[in-house]
Structures are given as C-alpha cells and as structure tokens.
Amino acid sequence: MKETEKKESTGSQASANSLASSRRGLLRGLAAGGLVAGAGLSLGAGPATAASRRIARQSASWTPPNSPSQAEQELFVHGNDRWKMQAQLHPREYADTRTPLVAAQHPWAMIVSCIDSRVPPELIFDQGLGDLFVSRTAGQVLDGAVLGSTAYAATKSYVKLIVVLGHQGCGAVQSAIERKDNPGTPNFPPRLEFLTDRIKDAIPPAGTPNRENLAINENIRRIRNQLLQEPQISPRVAAGTLNVIGARYELDTWIAHKIN
C-alpha cells in the first residue's frame, strides 16, 4: 500500500473511532437525562428510562374523585406531594386520554388562581387533560367573566371542588399595597386600579407585621367567601356535593396548603 493510502486509511479509522466514541458519550448523556427512550434509542438491557417508568405508573387504574373530600385529597395529598418530591406522573396527557376527550370532558375540580407564571395549577397539582377547569386572573380577582365561569362549573355535577388558589409573593397584592399606601400616585393605569381596588380591603394597616402575607391570605378568604354566596354554588355546598376552599402555594417550598 502506498504511504499516502496508509495515511488516509489510518486517518479514516481514527475518525470513525472518534465518531463512535462521541456517539456513545452522547447516548450515555441522553440516557442519564431520560431522553433516549423519547428518541427511540437504546444502550442495551439497562434499567427502564424515566419516560418508560412514567408511562408504567400511569397505566395503574385510576378513577376520578367522586366527592369533595376525594377531590381535595387528589390535589393536595397526592398531586402536590408528587410535585413537591419531583416525582410527577404527568397523567392523562397521551393518546388514550386525548382521543376520548374529543367527545366530552368531565373535570372534577375548578381552580380559581392567579396568572403568576410560577403557579400553573395543572403542574403544581400534577393533573392532566380533562381533570381541571382553570380560571386565572391577577390576584384571583373576580369579575363577571370569572364568576360566570365558576357558576358554569358549579352546574356540572362532576365538579366536586372549587379551589381559590393564591400564592407567596403575589405581585397583584404587592401592587394593591403600594396603591393603598400611595393613593395619589399619578398616571396609575386604570385597568390595574380595577385589580387593586378589589384587593385593597384585604390589606392590614401600614406597619402591621407580616403585612403582605396576611393580605394574601385574607384576599384568598374574601374571594372564597364571595363564591360561597353565589346562587349556583351555595345550594350544592349545602347539599354536600361541592366544596369551596381557599389555598395558598409557597414558591420556596413547592407546597400547596389550605387557608382556613
């Protein structure tokens, strides 16, 4: 073999070895991140990937909650615990759920929550398609559209629970505090004032210790109590087929808990 051909052959073999090594390294990295299964690749008879384990968990029998207490347990005991431990199932996201939902939905809870990007109800409660009605406004503020949406949910017998969900570090509550402390602030946006006006009565006097957190909790209670007076809601609550509760999500601990 000529010297030139030997060099080309040696160089080609080295390149192939390098490429194979790079591919093996890439596959190992993808496997560690649980991505290999999604790409349809395999490293041999290794342990199940995160994706396959998730699908296996979802295959277990599950029936929707059939009472307010069951719905509350599914959200706060099961779903939020999975989120808190980073062991989410991501349930009811695949074709076996999507296809039947084309014909009908039967969500078993409604969440009235803030628009905050860090508090998506479906994620923090680890629920899937067809599980939840969700209405989101800044500070959970109620208006005609939200009240109408909640009343609509309450007319559905399969809805067992309505949750007013506030959260730590709520920007709408912070804006309401600022507005209440500085009522003469010029050029305050009228649409924002609509929100702050509906929150301001929940704010304790200036100088109150833990003022912001107290305001967040009181705002949740006031909204919950208002919903309890709605004519489509109160008869079902009295009959025990629906409950309305207040809850709060903590950004730093990932825990959602009831507010009394």
Q: Is the pLDDT assigned to residue 56 strictly greater than 60?
A: no
Closest CA to 253 of 138, 90, 85, 72: 85
Q: Is the pLDDT assigned to residue 20 strictly greater than 90?
A: no
Q: Is the pLDDT assigned to residue 101 strictly greater than 50?
A: yes
Q: Which residues of 28-54 are buried (b: 16+ CB within 10 A; e: fewer)?
A: eebbeeeebbeeeeeeeeeeebbeeeb
Strand partners, 110: 133, 162
Cα dihedral across residues 99, 103, 109, 115: positive or negative:
positive
The DSSP bridge pattern shows strands 256-259 and 243-249 to be antiparallel
pLDDT for the residue numbered 33: 39
pLDDT (mean) for 177-195: 90
Confidence category of residue 201, pLDDT binned at 50, 70, 90: very high
Closest CA to 172 of 197, 208, 204: 197
pLDDT (mean) for 95-121: 97
Q: List C-alpha distances in Å: 76 to 27, 73, 130, 207, 248.
A: 37, 5, 18, 33, 11
Q: Is the pLDDT assigned to residue 14 strictly greater than 90?
A: no
Q: Is the pLDDT assigned to residue 185 strictly greater than 90?
A: no
pLDDT for the residue numbered 186: 82
pLDDT tens for 67-77 read: 999 999 999 99
**114 annotated as belonging to a binding site for a ligand:** yes
pLDDT tens for 207-244 read: 999 999 999 999 999 999 999 999 999 999 999 999 99
pLDDT for the residue numbered 40: 35
pLDDT for the residue numbered 60: 57
Helix, coil or strand: residue 258: strand
**116 annotated as belonging to a binding site for a ligand:** yes
User: What span, in angstroms and rounded, lies between the C-alpha atoms of 150 and 142?
Assistant: 10
pLDDT (mean) for 68-93: 97
**167 annotated as belonging to a binding site for a ligand:** yes
Q: Mean pLDDT of all residues in the chain?
A: 84
Whether pTM > 0.95 for this model: the answer is no
Contact 127, 90 (CB under 8 A): no
Q: Is the pLDDT assigned to residue 137 strictly greater than 60?
A: yes
Confidence category of residue 49, pLDDT binned at 50, 70, 90: low
pLDDT (mean) for 156-165: 98
User: What span, in angstroms and rounded, lies between the C-alpha atoms of 163 and 167?
Assistant: 12
Q: Which of 7-11, 93-97, 105-109, 181-185 has the highest mean pLDDT?
A: 105-109
Confidence category of residue 121, pLDDT binned at 50, 70, 90: very high
